[in-house]
């Protein structure tokens, strides 16, 4: 399992809900969690790990305790609004001010198939919203106003160019 980065198409695809949790899925979820920790992230969504399933890992505190793998998450309610800097493991080097709900109530399933509901605020609320966006094929840069996006365009072009280089080398084309 590896981190998929912008502009990889898997990041733009809506994920399928998980209907059944197999031993293979459990192993993948554990791998995903370890990938998140190895990248020093606070959250990771299925598509970032090359998996088009509605699975996220979240550990804002980095404590490695309690539930950290969530299946088929959804936001039940959101309130307040706050703007803060946000980045993404899959869009390295790009950060921007993003407006998100201050507080959210999230419902999801655990790896044991138990429904859980959490009320979270601040960074945890931002992380949940960010990861659930990934499951819908939405990147944080999609939430930027056109002027801010223009300012980040050069950095995004560099990521696109970097992604194109290995493909050219593999096909025998390129410098």
In the chain, where the domains are located: 9-168
Confidence (pTM): 0.90
Structure token digits, residue 58:
């979240």
Q: Is the pLDDT of residue 175 over 80?
A: no
What pLDDT is stored for residue 62 in this prediction?
Answer: 86
Q: Residues 131, 158, 160, 165: which is the catalytic one? A: 131
Q: Is the pLDDT of residue 125 over 90?
A: yes
CA angle 96, 160, 84 (to 5 degrees): 10
CATH number of 9-168: 3.90.45.10
Structure token digits, residue 35:
């990938």
> Range with the lowest mean pLDDT among 5-9, 15-19, 62-66, 171-175?
171-175
pLDDT bucket at 66, cuts 50 / 70 / 90: confident
Residue pLDDT, tens place only, 72-88:
999 999 999 999 999 99
Q: Is 131 a catalytic residue?
A: yes
């Amino acid at each position: 399992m590896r981190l998929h980065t912008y502009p990889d198409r898997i990041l733009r695809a809506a994920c399928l809900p998980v209907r059944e949790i197999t031993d293979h899925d459990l192993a993948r979820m554990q791998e995903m969690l370890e990938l998140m920790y190895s990248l020093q992230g606070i959250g990771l969504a299925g598509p970032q790990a090359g998996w088009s399933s509605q699975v996220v890992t979240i550990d804002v505190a980095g404590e490695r305790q309690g539930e950290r793998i969530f299946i088929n998450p959804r936001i039940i309610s959101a309130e307040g609004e706050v703007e803060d800097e946000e980045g993404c493991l899959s869009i390295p080097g790009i950060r921007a001010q993003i407006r998100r709900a201050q507080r959210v109530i999230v419902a999801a399933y655990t790896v044991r198939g138990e429904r859980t509901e959490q009320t979270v605020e601040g960074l945890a609320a931002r992380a949940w919203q960010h990861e659930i966006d990934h499951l819908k094929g939405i990147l944080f840069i999609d939430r930027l106003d056109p002027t801010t996006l223009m300012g980040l365009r050069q950095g995004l072009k560099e990521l696109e160019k970097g992604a194109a280089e290995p493909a050219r080398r593999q096909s025998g084309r390129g410098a």
